[in-house]
Structures are given as structure tokens and as C-alpha cells.
Amino acid sequence: MTIIKILGSGCPNCQRLAANAHEAVEKLGVEATIEKVTDYAGIHSYPILATPGLVIDEKLVSAGRIPSVDEIVSWLEE
């Protein structure tokens, strides 16, 4: 099972990123857990300079922007 983490304070951009991640998972039909990491220590345990951040299976794939559903799909397919 894939583990996806949304890094950020819960701001509107973080919420949009979470929505895009949910849509990408549904589009692919894969099993995934989507977690929101909102605490400072948890966020900065990854090499991130700006939120929102997206982590897939402990690999930071995006930071400081909202990737499209198609981008997230391509990362999930890797």
C-alpha cells in the first residue's frame, strides 16, 4: 500500500493538494493512505523549504506548489 503525506499547516493550498492526491488515487484505483502532517517537527523531517509538500512512500516529490492530478498520477505509477 502506498503512503502519501501532505506536509503543511492545513492552509487552502494544503487542502487543494490533498484533494488532488485523493483524485489521483481514485483515478488509478490504487490502495493508498493519505496522511496530513501539520506539526513543525514532522514537516521539517523532510528536506522542504516551502509548503505544501507531497511525500510518496517517504520520498519528497513536490514542495512549495500544488502539482496537478496528472503529475501525482505519474509519480504514483513510478
DSSP summary character for residue 57: T
Please tell me the predicted confidence (pLDDT) of residue 62: 98
Give the architecture-level CATH label for domain 2-77. 3-Layer(aba) Sandwich (3.40)
| Residues taking part in catalysis | 11, 14
Is-contact 50 37, C-beta < 8 A?
no
Residues 67 and 55: their CA atoms lie apart, in Å, by 12
**Burial of 13 (C-beta count, 10 Å sphere; 0-12/13-18/19+):** middle
* pLDDT tens figures, 37-67: 999 999 999 999 999 999 999 999 999 999 9
Residue ranges covered by each domain of the chain: 2-77
pLDDT at 65: 97
23, 17 in Cβ contact below 8 A? Answer: no
Report the pLDDT averaged over residues 8-23. Answer: 96
Amino acid 35: pLDDT: 97
